[in-house]
Structure 1
């Protein structure tokens, strides 16, 4: 069994651990606090329109919770649960709200993990690339969205048909239940590979990594992941097999992950969001 109550190298808060002690363990409180720690790097338009210097966009590439909490403390050393001005938050994305929530939950010994997939509650008619948390409440795993204070669904228990984890999204596309073109990073984004089966397969592999406590940045590439705009027949067949395996409760997720196609290598490629070029990253 994978122990989701203990930290990964990505969720470990490092020296900020004692700072986290003042928040939680109530899940609603953890979610409230997490929602105020990150300012989405495009969700509200250009960050410079909200008082951020342009160079702070680089914060969206922060990978480790320890670095995020250190930056938050430098911006405002007040207790973590206190409300922050927008510019006292780190610039990030959905992955970062969730990573910090999972880090705080695991700090209190609560089994929690990141899930990568598609939200059907963010924009009408679309399933948008998104990351939420999944928390074991003693009876079942339930989805918790730490990004928003309120929404059109219960963000403390998001229905499974409103957020489709990677395997569910892939099989919905392949079965014809949902048009693959409805799965997007953003309805306005037209970059090749950011919608349809290509994006769904990307999130499928990202979700497998998250289930194995590798909470990756969404624009990371490793193993069989690439920035090719189209999938080959072999890619589609492999994704069919992967999605079916991930939905099988008897499959060992660690063994599924431990292949050249899916295992996160010590050196990966990531797209720097400031320069918009791929860079080589050596993981800690």
Structure 2
């Protein structure tokens, strides 16, 4: 049984753990605080139009919560629940809002985990690549979106038909319930592999890693997770089996993860967002 109240190496806040005492354990306050800690690296246009030096784009490749909290403290050491100027936030993406929220929740002993999938509430007609949190409330796991301050969607209990976790998205594509081409990183992004079945398989594997407390950066690659524009028949069949397994609430998540195809290796490949070149990363 995986314990989601304890930190992973990615969510551990490190030396600044005491800084987190001032926020929570109320989920609404934790979510609100997390929404003000990150400035999305492309969601508001070019970051330099908002007062950020161009070199701060490198912050989107911060991997560990300890490094994120250290940078946030350097930028502004006030309480984490205080409103911050945009440039006092780290430059990041949906994964980072969620990682910080999960870190704060686990700090307070709340069972929380990251989920990778697709949101149907960000762009009409599309399911957009997204990361949210999942929190155990004592009765069930409910989805919490830490990125947005407010929305027409209940951000503390996002409906399951509006956010499809990796397995649900894959099964919807394969069954024909939803056209695969409606699943995208962004409707405007046409790079091969960033939409359709390749992206859905990518998120399925990323979600399995998250369920096993490996909260990876979204452009990480390892094992059988490759940057390819098409999904082979072999990979599709394996993804069918994985999606079916993850649909079972009693599935052995660790056993599913502990294979050469899905296990996160000590050395991975990641796409450096400042150079757009693949780099080798040795994980801590």
TM-score class normalised by the smaller sequence: over 0.9
For 1:258, the equivalent position in structure 2 comes to 258
Secondary structure at the residue paired with 1:39?
strand
> Following the alignment from structure 2 to structure 1, what is the Cα–Cα distance between the partners of residues 41 and 250?
39
| Match of residue 31 from structure 2 | 31
Deviation for aligned residue 1:63:
0.1
What is aligned with 1:22?
Answer: 22
Partner of 2:43: 43
The answer for the alignment partner of 1:102 in structure 2 is 102
In the TM superposition, residue 57 of structure 1 has moved relative to its aligned partner by 0.1
CA distance in 1, matches of 2:15, 2:219: 27
**Which residue in 1 is equivalent to 2:218?**
218
What's the counterpart of residue 241 of structure 2?
A: 241
Per the normalisation by structure 1, the TM-score is: 1.00
The Cα of 1:151 is off from its aligned counterpart by 1.1
**Per-residue displacement from partner, 1:243-276 (whole Å, max 9, x unpaired)?**
0011112320000000000000000000000000
Measured on the aligned residues, the alpha-carbon RMSD in Å equals: 0.4
CA distance in 2: counterparts of 1:250 and 1:154, whole angstroms? 27
After superposition, the C-alpha distances for 1:22-68 in whole angstroms (9 at most, x for unaligned) are 00000000000000000000000000000000000000000000000
1:167 aligns with 2:182: no
Superposed CA deviations along residues 70-109 of structure 1, whole A, max 9, x for unmatched, are: 0000000111111100000000000000000000000000
Corresponding residue for residue 227 of structure 1 = 227
Confirm or deny that 1:116 pairs with 2:111: no
Partner of 2:189: 189
1:278 counterpart residue number: 278
Deviations 1:142-188 (A, max 9, x none): 00000001112100000000000000000000000000000000000
Tell me the distance in 2 between the aligned counterparts of 1:221 and 1:135. 26
Runs of 4+ displaced beyond 6 Å: none
State the number of aligned residues. 284
Aligned match of 1:68: 68
Rounded to whole Å, the distance in 1 between the matches of 2:248 and 2:24 is: 33
Separation of aligned partners in 2, 1:137 and 1:251: 20
Give, in whole Å, the separation in 2 of the partners of 1:152 and 1:174.
29
Question: Which consecutive residues of structure 1, in runs of 5 or more, have no partner in the other structure?
Answer: none
Structure-1 separation of matches of 2:27 and 2:249: 26
DSSP-derived class of the 2:227 partner: coil
Structure-2-length-normalised TM-score: 1.00
Segment of structure 1 superposing worse, 161-170 or 227-236 = 227-236
Distance 2:152 2:19 in 1: 32
In 2, distance between residues paired with 1:147 and 1:250?
29
User: How far apart, CA to CA, are the structure 2 residues paired with 1:260 and 1:52?
Assistant: 41
Q: Give SS of 1:134's match.
A: strand
